[in-house]
Amino acid sequence: MACGLLFSAGKDSSLAALLLERFYDVTLVTAHFGTTDDWRHARDAAAELGFEFETLELDAAVAEEAVERMRNEGFPRPGIQQVHEAALEAAAAEYDVVADGTRRDDRVPTVSRAFAQSLEDRHGIEYVAPLSGFGRGAVDDLVETYLEVEQGPSETVPKGDYEAELRALIRERWGASAIDDIFPDHEQTRVRGRADG
């Protein structure tokens, strides 16, 4: 069964892919707005992991609305949540099974049971979140065993998905300092490939 898994090249979505690969025909799907080429980081990581890769271009209006909201509210969560839901909707139009790497302890994005059920009913698909029953400790243990990961500030380890474009859009509109105001935590992970396990 064809599964489109939202992929950022970070550790969570990569681990989600390993959990699902035995059960579904997994394509790693990176949502972007066509404004930067950061999606290439995701494409490269997908190739290192040995998965099919596809981009999903979201409407620029989604990014506009998200950054306005982030700027007004002073923190990224509601904007990131909104873009993640738009990405799930777009993936649900193309795959029988849609997945993401949300963890039990994630504060954003989160996918409520109600949103999951609504997505499934409206599109006639299944939504699966293989890490939603794993806490941070369990995820970290599995990542250390099964993945090669680099970690660092987002300037040197940019995410492969829409988050990098949202940062670029914020910089363009309100300057680099606005990024620091909105995203106080810069640490990102990017997967370089599989570990020996």
Residue ranges binding a second copy (CB under 8 A)? 1, 18-19, 22-23, 97, 102, 104-105, 113, 116-117, 120, 126-135, 137-138, 141-142, 145-146
Minimum Å gap between C-beta 38 and a second copy is 27
Which residues make Cβ contacts (< 8 Å) with residue 92, sequence separation at least 6? 98, 119, 122, 123, 125, 127
Distance CA 82, CA 16 (A): 21
Of residues 68 and 142, the one with the C-beta less far from a second copy: 142
Minimum Å gap between C-beta 110 and a second copy is 11
**What b/e readout covers 13-34, taking b as 16+ CB neighbours within 10 angstroms?**
bbbbbbbbeeebebbbbbbbbe
Of residues 17 and 178, the one with the C-beta less far from a second copy: 17
Distance CA 6, CA 88 (A): 8
Minimum Å gap between C-beta 162 and a second copy is 21
Minimum Å gap between C-beta 190 and a second copy is 21
Tokens of 146: 């099964």
Of residues 145 and 156, the one with the C-beta less far from a second copy: 145
Distance CA 193, CA 79 (A): 30
Of residues 17 and 157, the one with the C-beta less far from a second copy: 17
